[in-house]
Structure 1
Amino acid sequence: MKQLKKVNLNQIKVKDSFWSPVQELVIDEMIPYQEKVFKDEIPDVEKSHVLANLRIAAGMEQGEFYGMVFQDSDLAKWLEGVAYSLVIRPDKDLEQRADAVIDIIEKAQQPDGYLNTYFTIKEPEHRWQNLLECHELYCAGHMMEAAAAYYEATGKDKFLRAMERMADHIGGRFGTDKERGIPGHQEIELGLMRLYYATGKEKYLKLAKYFIDERGQNPDYFKEERQKRDWVHFNMDPENTFYNQSFAPVRLQETAEGHSVRAVYMYTAMADIAGQTDDRELYDACVHLWDNITGKRMYLTGGIGSTVDGEAFTKDYDLPNDMAYAETCASIGLIFFAKKMLDIEPSGKYADVLEQALYNGVLSGMQMDGKKFFYVNPLEVNPGISGELFGYKHVLPKRQGWYTCACCPPNLARLLTSLGQYAWSEGEDAVYSHLFLGGEFDLDKAFIRVESSYPWKGQAVYHVEGKQKSAFKIAIRIPAWAQNLNVLLNGEKIDTDSCRKDGYCYLERVWGKSDTLEISFDMRIRRIYANTEVREDAGCAAFMRGPFVYCFEGVDNGQLHSLRISTDRKAEESACGEGLFKGMTLLKVPGMRMEGSRQLYSETAPFAKPVTLTAIPYFAWGNRGVNQMKVWMLEK
C-alpha cells in the first residue's frame, strides 16, 4: 500500500474558464470581506472579534473575550486561505497584513507553547480540563494547518515554529505514558500531519497516530473527565459517545455516526496515517466508512449529516430534503477524505464523489458575490416554513453575511484557493489527473498544460512535455456517468476499452516534448432516481448534467408543489447567454402544473396543464431573492 505524492500548489497554475473566476472571487472579495469581519468592520453581521481576542491575549489591548470557545479557528482557516491565495497571486500588502497577524499570534502564545485566546483571557485556570467541549485541540490543529500552509507558500517559518512549540506542548502532556486524552472535536490529527509533512519530524506523525488510536479505547473517557471537574461549557452529554465517534476504537467502526464534520475530519486523518504507515487495518476501516457514507448516508449533492440534532448522521437512507442539514464544512471534509483515499487507491469511486461534493454541496455554500454564505444546504426550501417553523428553523432560505459559529466561510476560502492540490497526484510510475482542471502543472515526470471546456462540455486537451527518458503512465479519471468516450493520442484514436481501469484511463509510453492527449465524452442530461428506501424521494426524480445537480426555483416556475415532471418527454439543454447565469447550461424540462379545487379538501381531482420548467445548477440557487427551491420533483 503506497501513498501517492501530493502535488504542491507551487507546481500548479490554474487557468480554467470555470474555476479561475471562482478563485478570483475568493481572492478579490471573500478573503478581504472576511478580514473586515474579523476586524468587526462590517455592519449588520454577526460580530467576530477574533483579532481583538488575539490582541487582548497578547497584552496589546484591554478587553474581554468575545465569541465561541473555538473562535481562534476562524482566523486560522482564513490565514490558510491567505497562504494559498499568495501562491495563486502574490500580494505584498496582503502578505504583510498576514505577517502582522502572525506576529500577534506569536505574542499571544504562552511561554510553555500554549495558544488559545479563550483560556488565556477568560479561564486560564481551566486549561486542558474539558477536552469534550472546549476545542483546545481543535483550534490548535487548525493553527498548525495554517502555519504549514503559510510556510509552504512563503518560506517564512515564524508561524510554523510557533505551532511546533504548541505541538510539543501537547505532546508533552498527552500520550499512552502521560495523561490519556482525545479531542472532543477531531482536527488536531490533521494539523499534526501537516506539521509532519512540513518539517519531516516523525514525532508529529506519532502524536497524530496516538490521538487516532486512543479514540474509543475507553468509551467512558469523557464521562470520567466530566466527573473530575465541577464546571461545564456547553453542557454536552458525555455519555453520547456516538456524537464524537468515541463509542469504539476507530478500526472497529463500520458506520458513519455522530457529528458529520468531526467524523470526516477523523476519517481523513485515518486515511492519511494509514497511507503513511502502511496500516492495512486502518485503511480497511476507512473503506467501510466510505462505503457507508456514499452508499447509504449521502445526499445527491454530496451533502452529509442529515439532521440538525447534533449536525449529524442518522440512519441509513434517512435523507430528508426540506429538513436537511448538510453543513458546508461536512462536504468540505468529505472532499478531504476522498483525496486521502485517492492517494492510497486511485479509483473513480473516490474521485467521482470528490467532484460531486465540490460542484454541488460545497460551491452552494457561497453566494455568487463571495460575501454571503450557507451553513446548511437543503435540497428543498419553502419560504414561510423554512427558517421559521419548529424543525425547519435551521433551513434558511437565503445566505447570511456571517454566523455566530462561522466555521464554514473561511473553510470555503481555504478549500477553493487550494483546489489545484485536489486535481493531481503522482506515483512512482504514473501521474493521476482527478479533475478536468485547466491550467499548467509542473509535475515531477512531466509538464502538462490542460485546456478544459469542463464542466459545461465534456472536452479536455492535455499537452504533455515529458521530463524523463523512461516510460510512465498518465492516468485520467473518466466519470462513471460518461458515455461515448473518445481518446486521441497525437491525433490517433485509442482503444478505450483496453486502457480503462477503476474509473481511470491509463496511457503508458515514453512521453515526448509535444505529445497531445484529447479526451471527449457526452454530457447528456441524466434523470436520477433514489433508492426506494429513501422515503422522501419516492415517486420523484432529479436531474444531473455533467457534475452538476440541478434544481427548480419558484422565480422561474411559480409554485413548485403543484408541478410534476413528465416521464415520457426528455429535458433539453438551454444555454444562458446573459444575466446572472451567463455561460451556464440550464435545463428545460417538460412537465405539468396540477390545478384543481380551491377548497382545502374536495372530491374534484386535479387536472394537468402542460408547462415547460426551468432548472438551474444547484450551486447557483438562492442568488435571486427568497423563493422556493426543490431538487427532487414528482413525476407523472
Structure 2
Amino acid sequence: MNEPIHAGVEKSNNVTVTDAFWRNYKRIVAEQVIPYQWKALNDELPDTVPSHAIENFRIAAGEAEGEFFGTVFQDSDVAKWLETVAYSLRSFPDAELEKTADDVIALLGRAQAEDGYLNTYYMLVEPDYRWSNLRDNHELYCAGHLIEAAVAYYQTTGKRAFLDVMEKYVQLIQQVFGNEDGKLQGYPGHPEIELALLRLYDVTGKQEHLDLAVYFIEQRGQQPHYFDIEKEQRQAMDRPKTWNDEHTNFGLGYAYMQAHKPVREQEKAVGHVVRAMYLYTAMADLAHRKDDKQLREICDKLWEDVTKRKLYITAGLGSTVNGEAFTDAYDLPNDSMYCETCASIGLVFWAKKMLELSPDRKYADVMERAIYNGTISGMDLDGKRFFYVNPLEINAYQTGRKDQEHVKQERQKWYACACCPPNLARMIASIEDYAYTTTRDTLYTHLYMAGNVEAIIGKASVKLTQTHQYPWDGKITITVETEGDFKLAFRIPGWSSGVSASVNREAISVDDLQDGYLVLDRTWKIGDQIELLLPMPVERVYSNPKAGMNQGQVALQRGPIVYCLEETDNGANLAGLRLPRQVAFKTTHEANFLSGVVTLGAEALHIVETENLYQMDVPKTTRRSIQAIPYFAWGNRGLGEMRIWVHEGVE
C-alpha cells in the first residue's frame, strides 16, 4: 500500500516528455489550442457561439459595461484555460503567454469582491442571492476550477498572486459552510471543489483546506437533504422555480447530483457521469491521505461497477443523453450513447488517484484505454474542432432522428457549454503527470512515455530514460541514469501476452507479477538497461453476452489503440460488412497519414444491397478490402459513416 499523505507537501515527479506521440499533442496544445481557445474566450472566433467569459470578468471588475452572458459556470472556462497554460509552460516556456496569463490573473483579482467572493454570474446577475442554489448554479464548481488553476500556476511559475486570490475566496467559503451553528450545511450540486481543495492543501499545508474538503465530501447526501432545504428557502423568497424543480433532475432525482446517498453508502455508479468521476476522484484521494480503509472499499466497489458493467471499449462513459448519465449495467448503445469527453477525462483523474491508493494494473489499464481512445477523440488533429459527445457508431439515418440530435457527425468549433475543449487541453498539457507514481521504496511506471523521469524513492534520487515508439511499437527501452538500491516496477498491460523482458540483455522472467507489475529490486548502476517487448498483434475483442447490442460483432484493438472503420475508406453501409473469423490483418505505419498512425488492412465481405426490405434468400456477398484507423483519429476527413463494432462472418 502507498504511504498515506498526512502533511501538506505534494509528492511529484519531474518528467520530461520526448515521446513522439505525446510531444506532438502537447505541441498542438501549446501552439494551436491555447491561442485558439484564448480567441474563443474573447469572442474572436467567427461564425461560432460567443463565450464572453473574459468580458464577464471585465464587467465584474468595473472595467467594461454590459451584462453577464453565458452559462452559470462560464468562469470555469477561463479557469481551465489558465490551468492549461500553467502546464504548457512547463514544457514550452513562453514569456508572452505567461504575461497574458498574469494579466488575466490580475483581472480576476480586480474583479474579486472585498470579502473574497469571485463568481461573475452572481456578481452581475443575482448579487443578493449568493449560495441560494448550490444544487444547480455551480458556484462551488467554478471555485474549484479556479483553485485548481491557481495551484497549477503557482507550481509552475512560483507566483503567488493567483493563489492569494483563491485562498482569500476559500477563507470566505470556510466562513459560510460547515456543520457549526450559523453556517450553511450545503455542498455543491456538481462536485469539483472537493478535489481542488485537496490540491490546495498540497501546496499550502493548511489543515483548514483539508478539513473543508472532508466536510464537502462527507456532507453530501446527508439527511435532512440540504437541496430540499434550500429549495424551500428559495420558495420562501418568492423566487421563480428552476427547471430542475419542475423536472426532478431529468427524472434521476438527487442521483443526478451524486447526492442520493452519503458517499460511504454508495456502491453503484448512477446519475450524471462527470459529477460521479469528479466525486470519486476526491473520495479516492481522501482515502489515500487518511488511510481510510472503508472509503477505499467504497471506491473499489464503484470502480468494479463502472469498469466491469458500464464502460465502453473506448473508455467512454454515459449511456444516455438524458442527464448525461449512467443507465443499467451492460446497457451500452453505440449510436445513441453520450460518452462526453469530460467523462473519460474524469475517469483518467480517478484512475490516477486509485493508483496512488494501490498500484494495480487494473487501474492503469483503464487509464491508458481512456487516454488513447475516449479522451483525445474529443479533438481533431489540428486542435481547432471538438466533440462533446463521442459516438462509437455513425449511421446515415442519424441526422433525421430527434433522439440522437446530441450526436454530431463532425467536431464543432466551440460550444455554448464549452466544458470539454479546455478540459481536454489541460489533460493533454499535463499528460506526463499520469505516467508514474511512487511509494516508500518503488517507482511505478504506469504509462510508457518516451522521455525522462526524476523521482525520490526513500532517500534515493532516481532518474530513468524511456526510448520507444509507443503506442505503435511495443519495444520499450529504459535506461537507469542513477545508481543505488531501489525498486522499479513496470506495468505489463492486460492486453499483452507473450511479453519478454531483460536487464542488460539478460532475460528475466515475467511470470511472477505483482498486481500486474514487473518489480525489479536490485542495486542499480548508471547505464543499466531494462528492455520490455510487448507484442502488438491485432486482437479481436468480444463483448460480454449481456451487452446485447454488440452480439455477433467484434472490435479491433492493437496495443492500447481501439480501431474503427470510416466510410471514406470502406464505402457506405458499414453495417453490411462481415469480417471473416480467420482473416489476416496487415499493419502499416503511415507517417504522413492522420499525423502518423498504424492502419489495419484486411479482406472482408460486404452484403449486396437489394431493393427488398425483407427477403427469404440468404444475402449475397462480395469481397472488399477494408482499412481500419485508430478511433481517436476518425472524423478528420469529412462526413460519413463510422463504426467500431463490426459484424463477424464465419468464412
Question: Residue 235 of structure 1: which of 244, 247, 252 is its match?
Answer: 244
Q: By how many angstroms is 1:219 displaced?
A: 6.4
Residue in 1 that maps onto 2:416: 404
3-state SS in 1 of match to 2:511: helix
Q: By how many angstroms is 1:235 displaced?
A: 3.2
Q: By how many angstroms is 1:411 displaced?
A: 0.3
3-state SS in 1 of match to 2:253: coil
RMSD over aligned CA atoms reads: 1.4
Distance 1:278 1:601 in 2: 62
Point out where structure 2 has 5 or more consecutive residues left out of the alignment. none
Q: By how many angstroms is 1:111 displaced?
A: 0.8
Q: Which amino acid is 1:166 matched to?
A: Y
Residue in 2 that maps onto 1:567: 581
Distance 1:582 1:449 in 2: 25
3-state SS in 2 of match to 1:432: strand
Residue in 1 that maps onto 2:12: 8
Q: By how many angstroms is 1:382 displaced?
A: 1.7
Q: By how many angstroms is 1:558 displaced?
A: 0.9
Distance 2:122 2:85 in 1: 26
Tell me, yes or no, if structure 1 residue 220 matches structure 2 residue 191: no
Distance 1:564 1:45 in 2: 40
Residue in 1 that maps onto 2:643: 630
Distance 1:84 1:561 in 2: 42
Q: By how many angstroms is 1:577 displaced?
A: 4.5
Distance 1:122 1:379 in 2: 40
Question: Residue 169 of structure 2: which of 156, 166, 171 is its match?
Answer: 166
Tell me, yes or no, if structure 1 residue 184 matches structure 2 residue 193: no
Residue in 2 that maps onto 1:329: 342
Q: Is the 8 Å Cα contact of residues 302 and 356 (structure 1) preserved in structure 2?
A: yes
Q: By how many angstroms is 1:572 displaced?
A: 2.7
Distance 1:341 1:232 in 2: 40
Q: Is the 8 Å Cα contact of residues 332 and 415 (structure 1) preserved in structure 2?
A: yes
Question: Residue 392 of structure 1: which of 404, 408, 412 is its match?
Answer: 404
3-state SS in 2 of match to 1:276: helix
| Match runs of 1:193-342 below 5 Å | 193-218=198-223, 220-229=225-234, 230-236=239-245, 237=248, 240-342=253-355
Tell me, yes or no, if structure 1 residue 492 matches structure 2 residue 495: no
| Match runs of 1:348-363 below 5 Å | 348-363=361-376
Q: Which moved more, 1:178-187 or 1:605-614?
A: 605-614
3-state SS in 1 of match to 2:339: coil
Distance 2:596 2:257 in 1: 43
Distance 1:3 1:631 in 2: 41
Q: Is the 8 Å Cα contact of residues 3 and 440 (structure 2) preserved in structure 1?
A: no
Q: Is the 8 Å Cα contact of residues 4 and 290 (structure 2) preserved in structure 1?
A: no
Q: By how many angstroms is 1:37 displaced?
A: 0.6
Distance 1:3 1:25 in 2: 36
The two structures have a TM-score, normalised by structure 1, of 0.97
Q: Is the 8 Å Cα contact of residues 154 and 163 (structure 2) preserved in structure 1?
A: yes
Distance 2:224 2:374 in 1: 32
Distance 1:219 1:565 in 2: 56
Q: Is the 8 Å Cα contact of residues 587 and 599 (structure 2) preserved in structure 1?
A: yes
Q: By how many angstroms is 1:448 displaced?
A: 1.0
3-state SS in 2 of match to 1:590: strand
Q: Which moved more, 1:127-136 or 1:517-526?
A: 517-526
Residue in 2 that maps onto 1:378: 391
Distance 1:61 1:215 in 2: 38
Q: By how many angstroms is 1:394 displaced?
A: 0.4
Question: Residue 618 of structure 1: which of 631, 639, 651 is its match?
Answer: 631
| Match runs of 1:461-610 below 5 Å | 461-466=477-482, 469=484, 471-498=485-512, 500-559=513-572, 560-578=574-592, 580-581=593-594, 583-610=596-623
What is the total number of aligned residue pairs between the two structures? 630
Q: Which amino acid is 1:525 matched to?
A: V
Q: Which amino acid is 1:343 matched to?
A: E
Kindly provide the CA deviation profile for residues 491-550 of structure 1, in whole angstroms up to 9, marking residues without a partner as x.
Answer: 21112223x211111001122222111111210111000001111101111000000000
User: Matched residues, percent identical?
Assistant: 47
Residue in 2 that maps onto 1:134: 137
Kindly provide the CA deviation profile for residues 13-70 of structure 1, in whole angstroms up to 9, marking residues without a partner as x.
Answer: 1000111011000100001100011111110111000000010001111110000000
Kindly provide the CA deviation profile for residues 383-423 of structure 1, in whole angstroms up to 9, marking residues without a partner as x.
Answer: 4414x411110010000000000000000111001111100
Q: Which moved more, 1:136-145 or 1:558-567?
A: 558-567
Distance 1:288 1:390 in 2: 36
Kindly provide the CA deviation profile for residues 143-173 of structure 1, in whole angstroms up to 9, marking residues without a partner as x.
Answer: 0000000000000001001111111111111
Point out where structure 1 has 5 or more consecutive residues left out of the alignment. none
Q: By how many angstroms is 1:4 displaced?
A: 7.2
Kindly provide the CA deviation profile for residues 414-470 of structure 1, in whole angstroms up to 9, marking residues without a partner as x.
Answer: 100111110011111000111000111122231111112210010111111235x4x
Question: Residue 64 of structure 2: which of 61, 64, 73 is its match?
Answer: 61
Residue in 2 that maps onto 1:456: 472
Q: Is the 8 Å Cα contact of residues 4 and 343 (structure 1) preserved in structure 2?
A: no
Kindly provide the CA deviation profile for residues 359-401 of structure 1, in whole angstroms up to 9, marking residues without a partner as x.
Answer: 0000100000100000000100124414x41111001000000
Distance 2:243 2:159 in 1: 38
3-state SS in 2 of match to 1:404: coil
Q: By how many angstroms is 1:7 displaced?
A: 5.8
Q: Which amino acid is 1:169 matched to?
A: L
The two structures have a TM-score, normalised by structure 2, of 0.95
Distance 2:639 2:556 in 1: 22
Q: Is the 8 Å Cα contact of residues 459 and 518 (structure 1) preserved in structure 2?
A: yes
Cα distance change, pair 263–26 in 1 and its aligned pair in 2 (3 A) = same
Q: Which amino acid is 2:196 matched to?
A: G
Q: Is the 8 Å Cα contact of residues 134 and 233 (structure 1) preserved in structure 2?
A: no
Q: Which amino acid is 1:8 matched to?
A: S
Q: By how many angstroms is 1:596 displaced?
A: 4.4
Kindly provide the CA deviation profile for residues 541-574 of structure 1, in whole angstroms up to 9, marking residues without a partner as x.
Answer: 1000000000000111112121111123233312
Q: Is the 8 Å Cα contact of residues 245 and 263 (structure 1) preserved in structure 2?
A: yes
Q: Which amino acid is 2:211 matched to?
A: K
Q: Is the 8 Å Cα contact of residues 76 and 142 (structure 2) preserved in structure 1?
A: yes
Cα distance change, pair 548–4 in 1 and its aligned pair in 2 (3 A) = farther
3-state SS in 2 of match to 1:243: helix
Distance 1:66 1:385 in 2: 32
Q: Is the 8 Å Cα contact of residues 382 and 397 (structure 1) preserved in structure 2?
A: no
Cα distance change, pair 50–428 in 1 and its aligned pair in 2 (3 A) = same
Q: By how many angstroms is 1:582 displaced?
A: 5.3
Q: Which amino acid is 2:466 matched to?
A: V
